[in-house]
Copies of this chain bind each other. A is one copy, B any other.
Amino acid sequence: MDLYSGYINRLIAELSVLPGIGQKTAQRLAFYMINMPKESVEKLAGAMVEARNKVKYCKCCFTLTDDEICPICSNSKRDHKQIMVVENTRDLHAYEKTGRYEGVYHVLHGAINPSMGIGPNDIRLKELIERLEHDVDEVIIATNSSIEGETTAMYISKLIKPTGIRVTRIASGVPVGGELEYIDEVTLSRALDARVEL
């Protein structure tokens, strides 16, 4: 017998595919939505579809943005000779919140992970190398301090070092195994200050 309602079951199933949303949470969210004002549900649904369809990748650093070129890349006050390489837009956001970094970014959208079949060509690495043809002084590697992040850092370092461009890695003030986006601003700032040559 179909408990509840087919509509609610379908909604619970759809919500369960989201990361960190189990069956119980999906149920709770579904029932909450049923009791929300009609307009609020439509606004939420609209925001999802609109964000999915309209957000672009910055043509320069590949962060997610509404424009062709993101506000950071198009800001002439930022130091375009210093590029911080991060795994994703959330990590960029984490460093922006420190207010300590004045260079630009490069968002890889992933990290090298051989066991998952993710190689150097599956992240935005080629695009980083292309950017180095312009005038770049330093590449700061700020991938996560996970195995994948460290692997990616080593890979990028070996690739760039022959060009003579300075390659640094944010200091291991970042707890080993930690995810960059959850770390407090002070620790992130210290890790930037204590960055070391690779």
Contact = CB atoms under 8 A, between A and B. Distances in A.
A36 B7 contact: no
A52 B34 contact: yes
Copies of this chain in the oligomer: 2
Contact of A71 (B1, B32, B40, B72): B1
B45 A11 contact: no
A41 B49 contact: yes
Interface string A31-66: 111101010111111111111111100000001111
A46 B47 contact: no
Interface residues of A toward B: which range?
35 or more
A94 to B, nearest CB: 10
Contacts of A52: 33-34, 36, 38, 41-42
Contact of A32 (B15, B19, B55): B19
Nearest to A15: B44
A146 interface: no
Kindly list the 7 A-B residue pairs having the minimum CB-CB distance in the complex, ordered from nearest. Answer: A45-B45, A7-B51, A11-B51, A41-B52, A14-B47, A5-B66, A11-B47
Interface of A: 1-8, 10-11, 13-15, 17-21, 24-25, 27-34, 36, 38, 40-55, 63-66, 71-72, 75, 88-90, 93, 96, 181-182
